[in-house]
Each structure stands twice: as C-alpha cells, then as structure tokens.
Amino acid sequence: MKNYRPPGSLNPRTHDQGGGLRIKTELEIKGKLLEAVALVDMAADAIDGEKKEQLKRISTEIFDIECDI
C-alpha cells in the first residue's frame, strides 16, 4: 500500500484531491481564472469601502493575467 492516499488528501504531483479538479490545458487555466474574477467581483459587490476597492483591483489583476496567457 505504498501509494495509498486517503480520500481528500492532496496528490503532490497535481494538487488534485483524489479524482477532483486537474488543470491540464491553457484553456482550462483561462477558464479557472475567469471563474476567479467572477467570484472576486461578487465578493466586492457584497461589501463596501476600502476592501471593495482592493477586491476590484485584485479582480483586474487576475483578468490581466488571464488575457496574457
């Protein structure tokens, strides 16, 4: 049982949680980055003030990275 991994443990080669998400292609990476942008935007919309502006900047940075890939 040398290669046994309990369910939910991380595979050190892929950071995969035993049959879960495995990013392989550029298109998948771009998709995940766009999902992150949407999630950060939703969080920014839910709060006010300085943290809202900080989240908007983070969202813009992630989007710029996605465009560069």
47 in any annotated domain:
yes
60 in any annotated domain:
yes
Nearest Cα neighbor of 59 from 68, 48, 43, 21 is 43
Give me the pLDDT at residue 69, please: 85
Give me the pLDDT at residue 1, please: 44
pLDDT band at 65 (very low <50, low <70, confident <90, very high): very high
pLDDT band at 63 (very low <50, low <70, confident <90, very high): very high
Tell the residue number behind the tokens 């046994």, with chain if given: 4
Domain range for 35 = 26-68
Q: Residue 49 is encoded by which pair of tokens? A: 């003030």
9 in any annotated domain:
no
21 in any annotated domain:
no
Q: What is the pLDDT of residues 8-62, one digit of tens each?
A: 555 555 555 555 556 678 999 999 999 999 999 999 999 999 999 999 999 999 9
Q: Count how many domains the chain has.
A: 1
Give me the pLDDT at residue 20, please: 54
pTM: 0.63
64 in any annotated domain:
yes
